[in-house]
Structure 1
Amino acid sequence: MKVLLVQPPQFGKPGFNKIALVEPLGLEMVAGALLPDHEVRIHDMRIDDNLDKALAAFRPDAVGISCSFTIDVYRSQKIAETARTAGVPFIFVGGLHASLNPPDFQQPEIDCIVVGEGEFASRELLAAVTKGGDLGDVPGIVLNTDAGQVFTGPRPQADLNELPFPARELLPHGRRHRYFFNFWKPLATLETARGCPHRCNFCSVWTFFEGRCRTKDPERVADELERRKEKFVLITDDNFLLSVNRAKKIAEVIKERGIKKRYSFQARSDTIVKHPEVIAQWREIGLSHVFIGFESLDQEELKAVNKKNDVETNEKALEIVHSHDLTVTGAFIINQDYGPNEFKRLREYIASRRISLPQFTVLTPLPGTDLFREIEKKISVKNYELYDFLHSVLPTRLDPSEFYREFAGLYKSAYSNVNIFRTRIIPVIMGLATRRLSLMHLRRIIRAAREFGEGKNYLSGKAANNPGNAS
């Protein structure tokens, strides 16, 4: 069977995809599971949006669509319609949002939804399609039938060490060099674990993985790393240090094998404070960047999102990471109740704490999360295109124009041209000198930073249906 796996396009001004575009690792994982029995191609519409051409050239028997983000729902639906019009007989959808919200894909063009992890479920699903078997016998599937949607039952979660290696070789020649994280280019991604033991109410990850955590053995992690030629590696785990002992062992194996790369991972501040030695160990083997979800400067706000952490711990973690001369992305959630004083306080905090790559997102109740269920009645915007963490789907205390002006001001003060290069001038120069970076990419990052810093960009185009003021 010929199978085309499709990553939906991303667009919008501003948009996080303009400062970070990572390979479609989920589809690469699914492809790795399908390859022994099927001819598989991956089409990333973020790089090439000409789906009609890809369908005509390959003429697939099945199309699989990745819908992990809420903003991808309408685009995924459109892909299914395009594929069916092109004569594709079997179409399925998977991914985080699709798994938590199957009714969003109850349409005639879509045959079924893969719920949960897609590697082995997709393999069994397409085996049944090929043999003309009963799809109802495949666990972990929601079937679209004339009588409605039918769930085939839960699927046991897999041992991550038994997963096939990602089929990265399926990316069209040259496109592996299109993925980046700011000035890290070309970029590879690596998954070493799934799940998180914590229960932040805004997070859909722990819900998707049914509250369980599983990890790959250090040797398996090193095996995957050795397959990658890229210098820069973004570890995609939502909580890389969920097992500190395992993280230490991974570092030991990497050092023993002589693997030389630069790494970025995400960790909680409380773990960093309890185990500063693991940061030092990883710094020695190439750790350059750490993503930490600080979320808020206010303890009550941390409590409201069930963070189970405190501001003081965040401060201590920042000091530890800075002591190792690491770049930090400190993530902050902007509450709809913010006024000028709260925005000013955050701007001043970022500057005083030297957080080099701050990230600001608007509090967003993603469908399927605890937060969504808690405040669903307050949500005033149903348009999924606005669930991009840059627009409010809840009423704001300030007038929308003022709210977004203040929100944009956070980015403008943090990512002025001077601030962009202040801590990254040497890596940028080296990247240009070695032709790893181009002037075109440099201009792209600068242009994206400017877009984030202009309030009018949040009120134009798809933001036209802004929820307005709180009553």
Structure 2
Amino acid sequence: LKVGFVASAYGCTHACGFCAIRAQAGGRYLTHSIPAVLRDMRLLGDIPVVRLIDANTFGDPKHAAELAQAIIDAGLGKRIIADVRSDTVVRHPELMALWRKAGLLAVIIGFEDLSDEGLARLGKRNTWRNNVEAVSILHGLGIRIVGDFIASPDYSEADFEHLGKTIADLHIDLPMVSVLTPLPGTPLYNELRERIVIHDLDYYTLTNAVLPTRLPEKTFYETYAGLIKSGHAGAKL
């Protein structure tokens, strides 16, 4: 299945502590003109799936609604994959319904942590309740969910088990679990830099623990790999 890539926005409206996008964009959130987005989608020809590569396609709900309507009116017939925050889904379910009509096949949501306290530590400015409610809204609309979760190096085996059970209970279509990684230039890096034990950026793949692990290192990676292999974090979309 061929996928084409189109940008409709640049930057992000939020400043999560682990994310480098806000710094890359100078703290701005900029949207492309609707005619430009439609042009780029048409240039894909008969490629059936469009991946909107924005960090947050719905950062400006008004612009997002106008873009969705324009896609519908243009009759492009594309299936679309885009990133959205769960709190945006909860605040604007009608926007998600409109995008479903426009061809929205799946969304990528950064659920990150499983508690309000953990989300606050990551600077997410969101709640676990929003995450759960967003899943219900999206599934009700027939929109599939790619869910991003972060496993901390401080995880115990019980924490991994809880994460796997939560992913299964939510029926996330494609769960993706990364390892907490303080990327240089982010608030998280500044907060944790004294604890970092690996500074070689080749290891900053979001699957390596560059901080000391609570579990013995071999146990940590075996447990992490077991979660992926179990299907709780590696299903097909």
SS of residue matched to 1:247: helix
Aligned counterparts of 1:258 and 1:398: Cα–Cα separation in 2: 53
Are positions 1:238 and 2:64 aligned together?
no
Q: Which runs of 5+ in 2 are unaligned?
A: none
Aligned counterparts of 2:32 and 2:233: Cα–Cα separation in 1: 40
Considering Cα pairs closer than 8 Å and 6+ residues apart, tell me whether 1 or 2 has the greater RCO. Answer: 2
> Residues 237-263 of structure 1, C-alpha deviation per residue, up to 9 Å, x if partnerless?
101100111111111111111111000
Are positions 1:387 and 2:204 aligned together?
yes
Partner of 2:166: 349
Structure 2 CA distance for partners of 1:416 and 1:191, relative to 1, 3 Å: closer
Aligned counterparts of 2:229 and 2:222: Cα–Cα separation in 1: 10
SS of residue matched to 1:291: strand
Aligned counterparts of 1:326 and 1:305: Cα–Cα separation in 2: 27
SS of residue matched to 2:230: helix
Aligned counterparts of 2:60 and 2:29: Cα–Cα separation in 1: 10
Structure 2 CA distance for partners of 1:270 and 1:394, relative to 1, 3 Å: same
Partner of 2:138: 321
Match of 2:120 among 280, 283, 303: 303
Report matched runs for 1:252-263 at 5 Å: 252-263=69-80
Alignment length, in residue pairs? 236
Partner of 2:192: 375
Partner of 2:107: 290
* Structure 1 residue 407: Cα displacement: 0.8
Structure with greater Cα Rg: 1
* Structure 1 residue 414: Cα displacement: 2.0
Determine if contact 1:350/1:414 at 8 Å carries over to the other structure: no
* Structure 1 residue 340: Cα displacement: 1.1
* Structure 1 residue 415: Cα displacement: 5.9
Aligned counterparts of 1:286 and 1:228: Cα–Cα separation in 2: 15
Partner of 2:43: 227
* Structure 1 residue 286: Cα displacement: 1.0
Aligned counterparts of 1:412 and 1:324: Cα–Cα separation in 2: 29
Tell me which amino acid in the other structure corresponds to 2:126. Answer: N
Determine if contact 2:164/2:233 at 8 Å carries over to the other structure: no
Determine if contact 2:164/2:232 at 8 Å carries over to the other structure: no
Aligned counterparts of 1:349 and 1:252: Cα–Cα separation in 2: 35
> Residues 381-408 of structure 1, C-alpha deviation per residue, up to 9 Å, x if partnerless?
0121110000000000000111111111
Q: Which runs of 5+ in 1 are unaligned?
A: 1-184, 425-471
Tell me which amino acid in the other structure corresponds to 1:213. Answer: Y
Partner of 1:208: 24
Partner of 2:82: 265
Partner of 2:13: 197
Partner of 1:399: 216
Aligned counterparts of 1:325 and 1:235: Cα–Cα separation in 2: 19
Aligned counterparts of 1:379 and 1:251: Cα–Cα separation in 2: 43
Runs of 4+ in 1 over 6 A off after TM superposition: none
Aligned counterparts of 2:231 and 2:66: Cα–Cα separation in 1: 36
Tell me which amino acid in the other structure corresponds to 1:373. Answer: N
Aligned counterparts of 1:362 and 1:416: Cα–Cα separation in 2: 13
Partner of 2:92: 275
* Structure 1 residue 279: Cα displacement: 0.9
Aligned counterparts of 1:415 and 1:342: Cα–Cα separation in 2: 14
Partner of 2:153: 336
> Residues 196-219 of structure 1, C-alpha deviation per residue, up to 9 Å, x if partnerless?
121101111101111011111212
Tell me which amino acid in the other structure corresponds to 2:26. Answer: E
* Structure 1 residue 232: Cα displacement: 0.7
Determine if contact 1:291/1:331 at 8 Å carries over to the other structure: yes
| Identity, % of aligned positions | 36
Tell me which amino acid in the other structure corresponds to 1:200. Answer: C
Tell me which amino acid in the other structure corresponds to 1:228. Answer: L
SS of residue matched to 2:174: coil
SS of residue matched to 1:242: coil
Aligned counterparts of 1:309 and 1:414: Cα–Cα separation in 2: 27
> Residues 51-108 of structure 1, C-alpha deviation per residue, up to 9 Å, x if partnerless?
xxxxxxxxxxxxxxxxxxxxxxxxxxxxxxxxxxxxxxxxxxxxxxxxxxxxxxxxxx
SS of residue matched to 1:241: coil
Tell me which amino acid in the other structure corresponds to 1:208. Answer: Q
